[in-house]
Structure 1
Amino acid sequence: MVTPSEKEDPVDTEMTTAEPPAAVEITDPVLSKIHEEKVLLHKQKDALRYNLSRYTSDRERGIAAHRILQYRREISAVWEREQYYRQHGHLPDDGSSQINSEHDLKYHRSKANGNARRYRSLLNKYPGNVKYQQLLAKWEAEWQQTKQSIKDQKNTENE
């Protein structure tokens, strides 16, 4: 058996509080903006994850889950931009033409294809709408471009 000591050490009974490490101040305005963007995206994603169990229907939970995945893709893109900036000293061209991973290519292709189908349907309802015609042309071109990018990427992997 262990016998308790007659007198406890006061240091053991006191609760010690450790100060959190000081945050490193970001002096570079570009990195500061990127950091703010990451923080905002993380907050939005975490808030959605927190509320995910509160949705009553499967449809609402499904939409929220897809939005969480979208936030994760956006956060990954921001991290990639930050790493590129740290490595090269400038941001990459801000064009959606720079899509790196196969997953991103397939995502952009399906997004473009879905939007093209949407505007085709709207043009069937409103045949003379110039705005819908322009948007349809834009999304069909993007769909073809990403489709070609996937083919090119597969060809370079096979070589």
Structure 2
Amino acid sequence: MQSDYFALEPVIVERLKDIEGILAINTPFSIDDMLQVVNVSPSLNVIYVGDQVGESVGRGRSAPITQQWLVVLAVQDASAQLEETSNIRKIADPFIRQILAKMQGFDPKVTGYRPFERVNAGVQVGSAAGFAYFPYLFESKLLI
């Protein structure tokens, strides 16, 4: 049995904290909460999305679990308007490449957890009030 079900959160934050130029890493409870509090650019948000549960084994006493963690890059550019958004993507590009390099295949070295895999985020790139949000979903498998 895992001693800390959310043990991956601080490991992910630690892994991402040395991305050059990132001013803050937040751990909001949900995407909605993130949209209420993001006011620093560029910043990252690490959000526990939930689990995918596999078929039970051992008479239902154990099941493979896939934990899902969303990493959302938030960048702001006042010039990013409806007709001109290419600059905000140029700002985001180097951060996105660093996030992917750090997270894809990253072994958290937490007992029971497998290395991270990138999967479809299920959340679209979005924008609000000059901010653009770029979501990336990573999964780690474990047996509970």
Indicate the TM-score class for this superposition, using the shorter chain for normalisation: under 0.3
Report which structure shows greater RCO (CA 8 Å, sep ≥6): 2
Q: Which structure has greater helix proportion?
A: 1
Of the two, which has the highest radius of gyration?
A: 1
Taking structure 1 as the reference length, the TM-score comes to 0.25
Return the TM-score normalized by structure 2: 0.27
